[in-house]
Amino acid sequence: MTENATRRFIEDYEARREVLPGVDGWLSRHREGAIRDFAGVGLPHRRLEEWKYTDLGRVLEKAGIEPAPLLEGAVLLPESRSAAVFETIDRHVLVFVNGRYRADLSKAARLPKGVEIHSLGDVLHEQWAKDLVERRFDEKRQAESIVDLNTALMSDGACLRVRKGVKLDKPLHLFFFSADAGASHCRNLVLLEDEAEATILETHLGEKASLADLVLDISLGVGARLNHIKLQDEAESSVHIATMRARLAAQARLSSFTLTLGCGTSRGQSFVLFAGEGAEANIDGAYALKGAQHLDQFCVIDHAVPSCNSHTLFKGVLDGESEGVFQGKVIVRPHAQKTDGRQMTHALLLSRDASMNAKPELEIYADDVQCAHGSTVGELSKDALFYLQSRGIPEAEARRLLVLAFLDEALDLAPHDEARESLRRLVSDWFAEADI
């Protein structure tokens, strides 16, 4: 099935190559190289160790991979709790419908001097955008085939550049909505120069059987700070594939948190490279799955220089026949002494038919390090449930309280106070309505 999907993506590129952004510049040549590389490797398949738990070809056959239509008229955005989760936060908003920027639905107030926010087509002539798009992180190339696909077909995206020493005055909210069936391919670029700071909020919603193919490229200069919070709550018949690639210079700090509630099949990939000493990365998340949902989290933290810290924690609850996957690797290069790298995943099974596969790894080539990894999978404590019921709390409410308490450690890592509390309320409402 992966061969069929690979061929259809290549046919899509051949049909649309002349109307994609950057047709007359360096990106056109780069797209050609990307589609050749993608054709040579193809879509990832379950024979690859990093994809052994996710049958991408099968789910893409069901979701459909033809391009989502370009909507130019009026669009009614959803009014769900997930759509409104960041509504009370004073923020800049960029809206993308079916993968295309909609200026009429966006709201970006006057920006501080030194801050630039654009859609992808407006920055293709910039060297910094070229540098981000052309980077490679994975020498094995299998994981990069998804990025090659995105490079070949990307049609739009959000681009943020913050100049040296400047702080974005309020969060930038990227709102992605799939209004129709079909595939969208977005590329988001973030460059924070030395000592710059920014917060990015992401919302991904959809109502149809769609494919969201996203790549987020991040470059943080010396001492830069980026907080990133993502909510994914798309339709249960959709597929969501997201790759984050981040390069951190000395003393930079990246804090990224993802909450996953929706989507039939989700694959989140994070690649973090430490390029300067004293940097720190926190890649965390929480998820709540039900029905036949499938979530695959894959994370690689590359400690290529000494004295850097990384922390990864994912906690989730699974009901029905849902399936969770966590694959993580901390790499410590031979000269990367004084490294502190930690990865942990915890899952709570609410159903006998739910399952969790976890494979955290350490690949250490230095001796003066502090590294740890671990995984737990369990059920709700019957003793704790009995205790709450003996205090007059109904069983359904007792279960909800225990589940929320379990997720709270992860939710507490969302790096924005108001957004964190909004996500907590959203998760609480989700369980109240999910009849779990």
Contacts of 413 (CB under 8 A, 6+ apart): 255, 257, 282, 284, 313
Looking at residue 140, its pLDDT comes to: 52
Label the pairing between strands 92-97 and 100-107.
antiparallel
**Structure token pair of residue 24:** 């007359």
To which H or E segment does residue 309 belong?
Answer: strand 309-318
The string over 106-128, giving b where at least 16 C-beta atoms fall within 10 Å of a residue's C-beta and e elsewhere, is beeeebeeebebbbbbebbebee
Global pTM reads 0.95
pLDDT of amino acid 141 = 47
Q: What is the DSSP letter of 163?
A: -
Contact of 432 with 400, CB cutoff 8 Å: yes
Dig out the tokens for 141 from the structure.
Answer: 């190339």
Strands in 182-192's sheet, in edge-to-edge order, are: 115-119, 158-162, 182-192, 210-220, 239-248, 265-274, 294-303, 323-332, 355-364
Model pLDDT, residue 242: 97
pLDDT at residue 61 in the model = 74
Closest CA to 7 of 70, 69, 65, 47: 65
Instruction: Give the pLDDT score at 142.
Output: 52
Q: pLDDT tens-digit profile of 51-107?
A: 999 988 888 876 667 888 888 888 889 889 999 999 999 999 999 999 999 999 999
- Tell me which DSSP letter residue 44 carries: -
Give the pLDDT of residue 295.
Answer: 97
Count of other CB atoms within 10 angstroms of residue 156? 21
Rounded to the nearest integer, the mean pLDDT of the chain is 93
DSSP label at 367? S
| Rounded Cα distance, 268 and 230, in Å | 11
Question: Which regions in the chain score pLDDT beneath 50?
Answer: 141
> What pLDDT, on a 0 to 100 scale, did the predictor assign at position 396?
86
Residue 335, SS3 per DSSP: coil
* Residue 262 contacts residue 291 (beta carbons within 8 Å): no
Q: Where are the domains of the chain?
A: 2-379
Q: What is the pLDDT of residue 109?
A: 78
* 3-class state of residue 58 by DSSP: helix
